[in-house]
Amino acid sequence: MRPAVELNELTAHELHDLLASGQTSCREITQAVLARVEAVEPLVHAYVRMTPEIALRQADEIDSRLARGEHLSPLAGIPLALKDVMCTKGLPTTCCSRILENFIPPYDATVVRRCYQQGIVLVGKTNMDEFAMGSSTENSAFGPTRNPWDLERVPGGSSGGSAAAIAANEAIVALGTDTGGSIRQPAALCGIVGLKPTYGRVSRQGLVAFASSLDQIGPITKDVTDCALFLNVICGHDPQDSTSVDLPVPDFTLVLGQEIRGMKIGLLKEFLEYEGTRVPAEVEEPIRAALRVFENLGAIVEETSLPSLRYCIPTYYLIAPAEASSNLARYDGVQYGFRAPGEDIVEMYRKTRDKGFGAEVKRRIMLGTYALSAGYYDAYYQKAQQVRTLMVRDFSRAFQHFDVLVGPTSPTPAFRLGEKTEDPLSMYLSDVCTIPINLAGLPAMSLPCGFSDGLPVGLQMVGRPLEEETLLRAAYAFEQSTDFHLRRSLPARSNATALVRSSRQRGNK
């Protein structure tokens, strides 16, 4: 019999095998996860709300189905950490904003319903940058999340809570959202697997909108197999989301194990150098080493360049705030959310939004409102949309020759808390490798490919529209040849005091 404390360290597919063969119960798994949360949450702060009653009730239902001899779907009984931007019926959904602090949705998001239908167990809702605006989870109204690999560093963002929960073994699978890198960058900084599906693959119904033409929900997992299994659950057409793609969804696990001989991989120069600054060797070397692994597996690697990508930062930071300023107009203190009193309605709106939103959200509303305002629309918003067309064209040209485009997920490993909070532009620049993919609507994933001074480095792979399978096939082949995905951050039986001490020592170094 395995000691319960270890169950939370396993992957979903490993746990499924233990459940199916009667070696453990769903209650034991859930309790192991909850015990881990209790032990390390004071350090990590991955969650903003735990749901142990729901989790144990769902777990017991799965156990009784098992006892009746029912066949379980692959993720039945698997504990989930859900980013607090997806609506959960009867459970607060805050987007880590004061303005939604007491908002209780009257319905579940489509993805949440799909998870429940497959018997996935909800253990809690995770921390994030307010309204998913940020790259470090420091913009949460409820305090930052810390990177389990080094508690003085950020976990990335905006899905930093979901990524940290997986890296610290505080959940088995997690859901994040990715508008400009918010799944892939935290996955990279936390040394785990994150995938942003093609725009339209996953329903956005019940996802609180940030930038509607860019937002996409995706899995954050410990390995590629779990990623494929989770995609099987969440992908598919939803009549309630008019932008969801009405195409058949494959079984994403079927490509795992297929060889990649002859696969054409393009290393994107724009991901290695931006405005004359090269990514540091500590990032470039693991990427180059990963490419040698692919070559040894029979893939053909060449460097390539997509010139329009060098304009991705201004393009994204005009389009995303423009959409956000429009989407966030609904937070007016009338139908739901926080309200501050005012003498007249405009004063009520302004005081509500002043007290309800944090600094970064206000900054983006300002930027978006300005870009959309009379006299500036053509110079900024329209221009950015035209450059977006150039990027879409550049990518589609590259994909005539390459099957996959690669580069680092983030130009640096995890940075220190507070390092970029005073200079918003420097924070925006940390998204340089991920935002072009959202602008073009492509699928992309990050997987661990090495370490730099004990901090994980992520390899980003980008695919043709709707070709998540190509990414998974390549990622699985890479994973089978390496052991980066097996390394874990905080020790299993963590002693909180020892951890705090060791992180302080690191900080003083």
Partner 1 sequence: MPLTPEEVEHVALLGRLELTAQEREVFTRQLSAILDYFQQLRELDTTGVPPTSHVIPLQNVFREDESGKSLSQEETLANAPEQQQGCFQVPRVIE
By annotation, the residues acting in catalysis are 83, 158, 182
Residues 307-326 close enough to bind partner 1 by CB under 8 A: 308, 311, 313-315, 317-318, 325
Rounded to the nearest 5°, which phi and psi values hold at 128? -160, 165
Among 104, 289, 293, 297, the residue binding partner 1 under the rule CB under 8 A is 104
Q: Which is nearer to partner 1, 32 or 387 (CB)?
A: 387
| Sheet strands side by side (includes 47-50) | 47-50, 121-126, 79-83, 173-177, 217-221, 193-196, 444-452, 455-463, 404-408, 264-268, 300-304
Reduce the secondary structure of 204-222 to three states and give it as a string: CCCECCCCCCCCCEEEEEC
x/- letters, 443..472, toward partner 1 (CB under 8 A):
----------------------x-------
Decide: is 50 part of the binding site for partner 1 (CB under 8 A): no
Decide: is 399 part of the binding site for partner 1 (CB under 8 A): no
Residues 105-134 close enough to bind partner 1 by CB under 8 A: 106-107
Q: At what angle do helices 345-356 and 359-372 cross, to 10 degrees?
A: 130
Shortest CB 388 distance to partner 1, Å: 4
Decide: is 236 part of the binding site for partner 1 (CB under 8 A): no
The window from 121-129, 293-301, 353-361, 398-406 that contacts partner 1 (CB under 8 A) reads 353-361
Decide: is 344 part of the binding site for partner 1 (CB under 8 A): yes
Among 35, 41, 116, 213, the residue binding partner 1 under the rule CB under 8 A is 213
Residues 414-433 close enough to bind partner 1 by CB under 8 A: 424-425, 428
**Neighbour-count burial for 249-258, b at 16+ CB within 10 Å, e otherwise:** beebbebbee
Decide: is 329 part of the binding site for partner 1 (CB under 8 A): yes
Question: Which value, to the nearest 10 degrees, does the dihedral of the CA atoms of residues 497, 499, 504, 509 take?
Answer: 140
Query: What distance in Å separates the CA atoms of residue 108 and residue 125, rounded to the nearest whole number?
Result: 13
Shortest CB 264 distance to partner 1, Å: 23
Half-sphere exposure of 51 (CA within 13 A, CB side): 24
- Retrieve residue 239's tokens: 């009549």
Cβ atoms of 246 and 237 within 8 Å: the answer is yes
Q: Which is nearer to partner 1, 378 or 483 (CB)?
A: 378
Q: Which is nearer to partner 1, 52 or 314 (CB)?
A: 314
The window from 15-23, 54-62, 251-259, 334-342 that contacts partner 1 (CB under 8 A) reads 334-342
Give, as one character, the DSSP assignment of residue 93: -
Among 131, 230, 349, 415, the residue binding partner 1 under the rule CB under 8 A is 349
Rounded to the nearest 5°, which phi and psi values hold at 269? -60, -35
Q: Which is nearer to partner 1, 288 or 339 (CB)?
A: 339
Q: Which is nearer to partner 1, 395 or 484 (CB)?
A: 395
